[in-house]
Structure 1
Amino acid sequence: MEVVTEPMKKTIQLTIAGALLLVLVSATYVILEFDKLPLEPRVLQQLQVGMTRRDVEQLVPPPTLLRESGKEWVYIRRLSWPIITLRFSDDDQLAEVVVDR
């Protein structure tokens, strides 16, 4: 049977404390970031149905993902749930803004 010395106990305790701290900090980060929108709320408020694609391009950054041959612009963030989809009509006007929480 191996004898655990005091220095070994301290090392084990510090390792466990460090691991717990790392888990706590990581969980806190995920919780705080999880519900953040991929676009700023002030930008979302400026988007209006009927705006031209060019007007929208001046307000928002390039989309994370393009779908439906570029008619849907999808915005997502890593480690977060909210997804924003901008849908354009055939005449390149903003038809719908969908915020999926």
Structure 2
Amino acid sequence: MYSSSGDLRVASLLLRHTPCPFSLLFNALIWGHSVYDTPEDTLNLFDKMFFHGLLPSNFTFPFVLKCCADVSSIPFGKYVHSQCLRVHKSREL
């Protein structure tokens, strides 16, 4: 709700104070930061998501890749692409 209304500060606080963050919360924040033009924050959230052992959904990857293009980060884009392939492969098993 906070991400969709553009209140990314409160949404980020919610994430920081959630004892066991979950994928949906990260996805909402990634979407919000990508839509409201904070691509660096989007990429940081993507990294944090993996740090917490959470897998992104099909919903996550297009927004993160868009942000890679926005900041012209080819290496991070390659990293995201490899994670996308890895996640899809693990879901097929």
TM > 0.5 fold call:
no
Question: TM-score, normalised to structure 1's length?
Answer: 0.26
Tell which structure's C-alpha radius of gyration is larger: 1
Question: TM-score, normalised to structure 2's length?
Answer: 0.27
Point out the structure with the larger strand share: 1
Point out the structure with the larger helix share: 2
